[in-house]
Amino acid sequence: MLSIENVRSAYGRIEVLHGVTLHVEAGEIVTLIGANGAGKTTLLHAISGVQPIMDGSIRFAGNPIEQLPAHMRVGLGISQVPEGRQLFEPLSVKDNLRLGAWSRRDEDLEPELARARAMFPMLDAFWERPAGTLSGGQQQMLAIGRALMAKPRLLLLDEPSMGLAPNLVDHVLAVIRALKDDKLTILLVEQNARAALAIADRAYVLETGRITLSGTAAEIAADARVRDAYLGI
């Protein structure tokens, strides 16, 4: 589904990604773990087209996309849930969801809106309320629902549990597992490495812009270096 080869990216003269290579197979949850500043968000932005790359290739479903603008990548089937949610706060829950379907604006959105209401029932009571008045957990549900409105084949999730209470973290992780059961492919960046590894098929460790470890989620969770650095064991 996704193949990244030797990707380099920079902010001005500061190179952040130094030849990153990874792949995500169809139907997998792959998690990317690493310390703050390792380049995880930059990599997701490079995949979605928000951040340009200097070198390397990004292939989606076998086709090169590194030269395509972000809106065309959404049309191909890549959606991102950004760190910090980044909702359109003055707009209603319903209108935030409708904007997530911008690339399919000529289609009937009612079935997808009904699916979002069923998947995230906590949003139903606030359907016409401004998104900025929702709690953190409700906003995260809305951010995920907005990304799903584009009918993606690949979902990029950036720190979905950030700032949430433990019970809401469990709910978000349950939603991610359910999306995998619906055959959605997911690349997950998550500060809670233990939780991310518990639901992922495979994992990569990104350190200072380089992949330093990769393997099944169980292998990465059992690695002494990962346990010491990220799992608090």
How are beta strands 78-81 and 63-64 bridged, if at all? unpaired
Per-residue pLDDT tens over the stretch 62-114: 999 999 999 999 999 999 999 888 999 999 999 999 999 988 777 788 888 98
Of the pLDDT bands very low, low, confident and very high (cuts 50, 70, 90), residue 212 is very high
CA distances to 57, 69, 73, 108, 140 from 104, rounded to whole Å, are 27, 17, 13, 9, 22
- Model confidence over 14-40: pLDDT tens digits? 999 999 999 999 999 999 999 889 999
State yes or no: pLDDT of 190 exceeds 90.
no
Query: What pLDDT is stored for residue 164 in this prediction?
Result: 80
Assign 3-state DSSP to the chain and report helix, strand, coil percentages, each to 5.
Answer: 40, 25, 35
- Give the whole-angstrom CA distance, residue 65 versus residue 47: 8
Which domains, ranges and CATH numbers included, belong to the chain?
2-77+152-229 (3.40.50.300), 90-151 (no CATH)
Predicted pLDDT of residue 199: 94
Q: At 216, is the pLDDT very low, low, confident or very high (cuts 50, 70, 90)?
A: very high
Half-sphere exposure of 112 (CA within 13 A, CB side): 23
pLDDT given at position 233? 57
